[in-house]
Amino acid sequence: MKRSLWMLVAVIGLASAAHAGSQNDAGCGLGAQLFKDNRPVDQILGATTNGTSGNQTFAITTGTLGCSSGGLIKSSREREVFTASNLRVLEQELAAGKGEYTASLAALSGCPAAPFQAFAKSHYDALFPSDKTTSSELLIHLDQAIGSNSAMAKACAL
């Protein structure tokens, strides 16, 4: 009887934890890959698989099985993906020296928004030397411009 009661408490606890979010609620890892539906039973099985096999820690560390690893690599990739996804809007906002996308790029670059925006506006021609400048080239030009300016290099964490 006592064992059944503990099992019931564990199932209810897992079910409520699994039902709390809006994505695959087992998180990431093998369990989330095997049990992808957002039904409580699938999420309980996914969370149980992750918890009992210990694979979720490995997956988070290596960035596999739907997990992402933290640290500088992730931050660098976020900046690359953000720039690639928003290049044309960034081009316009960097020319104007203001806007929410440039503020986001500043944050992803480790820079305070206002000085970054003013700096980018004054260095627009170096950031976009042609109308065919790619997002990768923009980041290279941006890092070079910041690196060659001691005040901006000090303000930013690149």
State the pLDDT at residue 99: 92
State the pLDDT at residue 72: 42
Per-10-residue mean pLDDT of the chain, 158 residues long, equals: 52 44 57 71 73 64 62 62 89 94 90 94 95 92 92 83
* Rounded Cα–Cα distance for residues 28 and 68 (Å): 9
- As a whole-number percent, the residues of the chain with pLDDT over 90 amount to 37
* Residue 91 to residues 70, 87, 131, Cα–Cα distance (Å): 29, 6, 10
**Distance of alpha carbon 75 from the chain centroid:** 7
Whether residue 142 contacts residue 120, with contact meaning beta carbons closer than 8 Å, is answered with: yes
State the pLDDT at residue 85: 86
Q: Two tokens at 26? A: 């087992």
* Residue 158 to residues 122, 135, 139, Cα–Cα distance (Å): 19, 17, 11
Pure H helices in the chain: 2-18, 30-34, 40-53, 55-62, 72-85, 87-96, 100-108, 113-122, 124-127, 135-147, 150-155
